[in-house]
Each structure stands twice: as C-alpha cells, then as structure tokens.
Amino acid sequence: MVFSSSDGLICVNILPDAISEIKKEILVHYPNETGGVLIGKYDENLRLATIYLATESPKDSEYGATAFKRGVNDIVNNITLAQKKLSTELHYVGEWHSHPNNSPAASPTDLKQMQIFAKTNQLGISVPLLLIVGGKPPLGLDWQFSLHRYKKKPSLLLPLK
C-alpha cells in the first residue's frame, strides 16, 4: 500500500507483512485502541519511506476505547531483531495505532506526542511517521500517515488509489 503527500514529495510504502501485523493486532484488541512501532528505512533522497515491519503492542502498553499508551518493553530488541533478520539499514521510523470505529485523523493528544518524539529524536529519528488506522475491522479500515517535524504542521499522506 502506497501513501503520498498532496504535492508528491513524500511517499510511504507499507509492505504486506507490516499490514498483516497491524490488522492482526487491531482484531486482537478491538474495540480498544492498540499500536506499536514502524520499522523501515528511507531512500537516499529521504523522500520515500518503506515500512517493512510493524510491531505488536509492547506488553506494558495501556489500552482503552479512546486512548492508547504504547509501552516501551522490547522496542529496542524488536528493532535489533529486524536488523539481524532483514537488513542492518532498518530502523525505527515511527508509530502506528488504531482509532476503532473512528476516523484515522490524529487527535490533539497524538499531535502533541509526535511533537515530543520529533523534538527528542525518539529512537534516533527527528521526523517520525504516524500511521493511524481507523474504522471497523476487519474490512472497514481507513489508513492515514502523517510526517511530523518539530514546531511544524504535520504533512498528511493519503493512500494512492
């Protein structure tokens, strides 16, 4: 599945394994929100991110019908395992979480958290991606990416049809 900014300058390609993991996690935790991290890499021009893996939610995460707090257990270990298994070029590129029965639009809480991640270079990246999957599983899911820079408006990336 490929996503693009309206100007076509930023694109994300999320591979089938990552999509499958996200769908599986959403079904397991529905009707609560869930989430995890996105593992991938950018091309040499930093315009295309490819997402190879999406992690399941860490065991210390907190789930609710309208809120999700991603835990931290095993995040670094999951990234290291992905690097050993697939490629040393893979790294943390952002976050994903669900908005069950709702829009995939980022909430004010989501935007605030992504600003903190951008400011603090969360897991080594200063321009993190956020994927929100809204709707009702399994078939009624809507996907939306956004790219976050510190003190700047996020860039929305919508699926290419």
- For residues 85 and 11, the model is more confident at 11
Secondary structure (DSSP) of 58-102: PTT-EE-SS-EE---TTHHHHHHHHHHHT-TT-EEEEEEEEEETS
Q: Which fold has domain 2-159?
A: Cytidine Deaminase; domain 2 (3.40.140)
pTM of the model: 0.92
**Mean pLDDT (the chain, rounded):** 91
Interval 61-89: pLDDT, tens: 899 999 999 988 888 887 888 788 777 78
Residues classed as catalytic: 33
Quick: pLDDT tens for 24-68.
999 999 999 999 999 999 988 889 999 999 999 988 989 999 999
